[in-house]
Structure formats: C-alpha cells, structure tokens
Amino acid sequence: MRLSVTISFEEAYLGGRRKVSYRSLAACEACSGTGANPGSDMRPCPSCGGQGEVMYNQGLLMLKRLCTRCRGTGRVAVDGCRECGGCDETGECVIDDEMQRIYGLLREADAIIVATPIFFYTVPAQLKAVIDRCQAAWNRRKLSKPREQWKNHGSGRGFLIAVGATRGARLFESVEPG
C-alpha cells in the first residue's frame, strides 16, 4: 500500500505524529484472501518460495515487496477438476487458478518430466488434480484435429519418475502405461 502525506521540513527533522485514514480491502471470508476454493490444496508459491515477499534491486539498494503471484499469502492452489464440461467445446478450462499458468508452460515445453512419490498405491492428490485438469488440454487437441488423429501426440515427450517406500507387486500399477 502507498499513502502520500505532505509534511514540513521541520516536522521531518523533529518528528511528529499525524493521524491518517485509508480504505483497505478485507479478505474474503470464503477463501481468506487466497483466491482458492475452500478445501483446495494450497502449496508454497514458487515465485516467493512461500515467503509472501520478493526481493528486488533498486540501484544499490535491495528492497522487498509483496509477491504479486500469491498476493502476499505465500501459498497458491490448483483446484481439482469440477467435471463441469466447460472445456469440452472450447479446450479452455473455466476455473481461474494457478493451473492457467501451468497450461501455458505445458504448451511451451519440449518435454514434460514428472517426479512423484507413490502414496497408497497412487499419485498424491496435488498431482492428481493437475492430471485431471489436463482434460482441457486434451479437449484443445481434440478440437484442433480430425478424430483419426486424436491419439497422435506428435513430437511431445514425457517422462515419469515414481518412487515408493513400500513393497507390493502392484505398487506402480496406477502410473504404468495402459
């Protein structure tokens, strides 16, 4: 927040007190200012490392400012797919959250590498939410190609690194190609 107040040189030198008033925005009761739906999985903001502030250079000075990506909360979320069908006709997901940025990164990537632990014989809920939300990307591809080319993935490459801390003959079954 920035607030301008005019003071005299004398007041600046000797100090003093001023009463100021300002209007501020209150945090939403439903999301507490995060912008995420209640119950969404929150994770540390990658821009500020979960600190809510970022450092930047201003000449010789090193200054801090509020992180614009997480709005100072230090946390970001990707909601799960709502299965609303909003992406079926456009290839665009209707949920406005951190996943919108991820779609752009996925489109620009030469390869996608996913590393994940396997908990209770499947991927963690956070990764499952991202995978489910990729339905919009599938629909985008489907809308841009004739039906006979839907399974042709072109030159895209992907790699999965999965680790499990238990034993079981079917431990990695949920992440094996079908």
Shared domain for 128 and 169, answered yes or no, is yes
**pTM for this predicted structure:** 0.58
User: Quick one: CA dihedral 163, 169, 171, 172, positive or negative?
Assistant: positive
Shared domain for 60 and 92, answered yes or no, is no
Structural domains of the chain, count: 2
Shared domain for 72 and 116, answered yes or no, is no
> How many other CB atoms are found less than 10 A from the CB of residue 14?
8
On the question of pLDDT at 109 being above 80, the answer is: yes
Shared domain for 108 and 178, answered yes or no, is yes
Shared domain for 111 and 143, answered yes or no, is yes
On the question of pLDDT at 70 being above 70, the answer is: yes
pLDDT-derived band of residue 93, with 50, 70 and 90 as boundaries? very high
Over residues 21-34, the mean pLDDT reads 67
Mean pLDDT, the chain, integer: 82
Task: Give the percent of the chain with pLDDT over 90.
Answer: 12
Shared domain for 52 and 100, answered yes or no, is no
pLDDT-derived band of residue 39, with 50, 70 and 90 as boundaries? low
DSSP secondary structure, 15-79, as one string: ----------PPPPTTTTTS-SPTT--EEE-TTTTTSSEEEEEETTEEEEEE-TTTTTSSEEE-P
pLDDT-derived band of residue 38, with 50, 70 and 90 as boundaries? low
On the question of pLDDT at 84 being above 60, the answer is: yes
Shared domain for 72 and 100, answered yes or no, is no
Last residue within a domain, chosen from 27, 60, 77: 77
Q: Residue 111 burial (CB < 10 Å; 0-12/13-18/19+)?
A: exposed
Task: Write out the residue range of the structural domain in which residue 105 sits.
Answer: 84-178
Give Cα 36 to chain centroid, integer Å. 10
Shared domain for 25 and 60, answered yes or no, is yes
Shared domain for 2 and 52, answered yes or no, is yes
Q: For residue range 118-174, what is the model confidence (pLDDT) as tens digits? A: 888 888 888 888 999 999 988 988 888 888 877 776 667 889 999 987 878 888 998
pLDDT-derived band of residue 73, with 50, 70 and 90 as boundaries? confident
Shared domain for 20 and 95, answered yes or no, is no
- Residue 160 tokens read as 């999965």
Residues 1 and 72 sit within 8 Å (Cβ to Cβ): no
